[in-house]
Amino acid sequence: MQILRALILGVGILFTAAATAFAQVPRASDGHPDLSGIWQAMGTANWDLGDHPPEPGPFYQLGAIGAVPPGRGVVEGGAIPYKPEALAKRKENRANRWKNDPELKCYMPGIPRAAYIPQPFQIVQSANVVLMVYQFASTNRVINMGKPKEAAVDTWMGTANGHWEGETLVVENTGFNDQTWLDRSGNYHSDALHVTERYTRADRDHIRYEAAIEDAQVFTRPWKISLTLYRDVEPNATLAEFKCVEFSERLLYSDLSGPGAPAETKP
């Protein structure tokens, strides 16, 4: 009898906790969870999706400022299932990451990287579309919530079609080019990438983010990442402009400047 009472009490506590969390989730006018707000991932997934130790940066002059912080992986199961030939390409990417990472060049980060690049993004939600605006590189994308549309062309951010599954916004992303990486350590994809995102608002200040990644040209099977997005609760929270193209021009085009190019000026 005591065991039965303990089980009933435990179930009651879990039910109460779940009901409390449910009540704390803001609702849109159509009854779905309202994901609107400014959000940011707080981990180290942008450095490396897998477990990784600290490392020195590419320039000793930067000391600890330029070092790679340690971090726990966000890949379910631990390892990314690369094909052997694709793993060789990933190793090549990693060896040259300090000059070839698309983030260095101010390219749009792609999906799913846009969710965990270390800058905030804003969600604006309506019944017909969900707009996501990213501070990095002034990137944005519109998630179609109506009849699914096929990608007209391949792009950095892909074509997004969304629908609701209970409390979760599910976004199917296709139509990517192959110009983005998944992190700074050289994990990459081809233009056959298909990403299924899941946004579940756990309470007022947290979204559980999952992304299932499929790419038969690079990986042996689909795989998944999961992490938490945190809401910026500051009363004056807003996105700032980070138009980084001008910071990358010298990196990208210095070999075209020639000996007669003007010297770099200092502020």
Beta-strand (E) ranges in 120-245?
121-125, 129-134, 140-144, 159-165, 168-174, 194-203, 206-214, 223-231
Task: Give the total residue count for the chain.
Answer: 267
Provide the residue-wise pLDDT of the chain in tens; the chain has 267 residues. 666 565 665 644 444 444 444 558 999 999 999 999 999 999 999 999 999 999 999 999 999 999 999 999 999 999 999 999 999 999 999 999 999 999 999 999 999 999 999 999 999 999 999 999 999 999 999 999 999 999 999 999 999 999 999 999 999 999 999 999 999 999 999 999 999 999 999 999 999 999 999 999 999 999 999 999 999 999 999 999 998 999 998 888 877 665 544 445 444
- Whole-angstrom distance, CA of residue 82 vs CA of residue 216: 10
The answer for 80, left when phi > 0, alpha when psi is -120 to 50, beta otherwise, is beta
- Whole-angstrom distance, CA of residue 64 vs CA of residue 165: 44
**What confidence score (pLDDT) does residue 4 get?**
58
- Whole-angstrom distance, CA of residue 174 vs CA of residue 180: 14
**What confidence score (pLDDT) does residue 192 get?**
98
**What confidence score (pLDDT) does residue 68 get?**
94
Query: What phi and psi, each to the nearest 5 degrees, are found at residue 231?
Result: -80, 140
Which amino acid does the sequence have at 219? F
* Neighbour count for residue 85 (Cβ, 10 Å): 9
Which amino acid does the sequence have at 92? E
**What confidence score (pLDDT) does residue 252 get?**
83
- In this prediction the pTM is 0.87
